[in-house]
Amino acid sequence: MHAAKPEPAQPFLPFARPTIDETMVAALADTLRSLWITSGPQVLAFERALSEYHDGRPARVFSSATGALEVALLTIGVGPGDEVIMPAQTFFSCANAIARTGARPVFVDVDPATRNMDLSAAAAAITARTRALMPTHFAGLPLDMDALYALARARGLRVIEDAALAIGSRWKGRRIGSFGDIASFSFHPNKNITTIEGGALVFADEAEARRAEQYRFHGIARLPDGTRDVVVLGGKYNLPDVNARLGLLQLARLEEFIARRRHLVARYFGRLQTDPPCELPARGDDGHSWNFFAPLLPLDRLAWTRKQVMDALAARGIGTGVSYEAVHLTTQYRALGHREGDFPHAERIARETLTLPLFPTMQDADVDRVCDALRAVLHEARG
């Protein structure tokens, strides 16, 4: 008798993957062949497309969303001695952008269900030095925009929305970035659309958009005689045309990508049942663009650590991530005096969160595979 052949190993399933097809590859090759590969006509076309997508508001693109955040802060005049209020549960780039202007990031806790900035905590943190609010639309779930802008108007504050995870998200039917103050988007490969690396700002004011252009490229202003002047202390954050060409094709498919993400998330909600149970993220409504799906692990009922759970899933061919660590507990921001217990909700999310695979080219069977694997791992990990 012959021994049964072993089942073939399933391919590794990462927690994020960009959607790149052959049309996109060919378009990038055409851009390379044009020999205009740094900022040029494709950047202008991408900015026009982003503007149209956001109801005609001026858009500018950058080499990264982190650079875009820093430029946004500089554009509205944030600098040494100022404070900017932000959630303690978000990616590190927000705090770093604030700190690099010489201002101080002021952390506040988040709502435990939505994981968005607690606006009552933000209101309590406002001082005479506060210049702006920088909320994150967590995982693509919009913050309460009515309450956010009511607070900003009442206290005379600017708003820079960290919408890195939220291009295509909507609040009461209106796209994030199509109203409000300044919105910042990310086009990193694990976001809803990608330009390989890149980001964008969408403004309410054309004059501020033009000022951001100066900060984006060395602070340069062109003079009537064709020479150049440096009018602000700028950096170099311009996006190449190669990246912008990809962005144009990605943007054209954004609604398709989001629809697929929502379908996969609905399957997660229907299939993800573990013992002990995970705490699932807030579902929101049909305005949620679902950049990622991150339940909270029941670590208080497990004998394993999160790392052990992640390693066990990796052994089954499933990649996971952590979205996100608590910013105030990093070495850089502990130096401002922060300690455990400052923001309990953000800290609990940071301890227990686990980002599961979610990207448009996933199949329904992939979601089932993740759910089955996590169920088996948590059963094994029970204390």
Catalytic residues, by residue number, are 191
Q: Are 40 and 61 in contact, with CB atoms under 8 Å apart?
A: no
Q: Give the Å distances, CA to CA, from 22 to 32, 57, 257.
A: 15, 31, 16
Q: Give the Å distances, CA to CA, from 25 to 32, 33, 178, 257.
A: 11, 12, 30, 18
Sheet strands (E) in the chain: 59-62, 83-87, 104-108, 130-133, 158-162, 170-171, 174-175, 182-186, 199-202, 220-222, 228-230
Rounded to an integer, what distance in angstroms lies between the CA atom of residue 220 and that of residue 236? 10
Query: Token pair 């912008």 is at which residue?
Result: 244
Rounded to an integer, what distance in angstroms lies between the CA atom of residue 224 and that of residue 231? 15
Q: Are 254 and 265 in contact, with CB atoms under 8 Å apart?
A: no
Q: Where are the alpha helices (DSSP H) in 253-343?
A: 254-271, 306-315, 331-334
CA 24 to chain centre: 23
Query: Rounded to a whole number, what is the distance in angstroms from the first to the last CA of the chain?
Result: 42
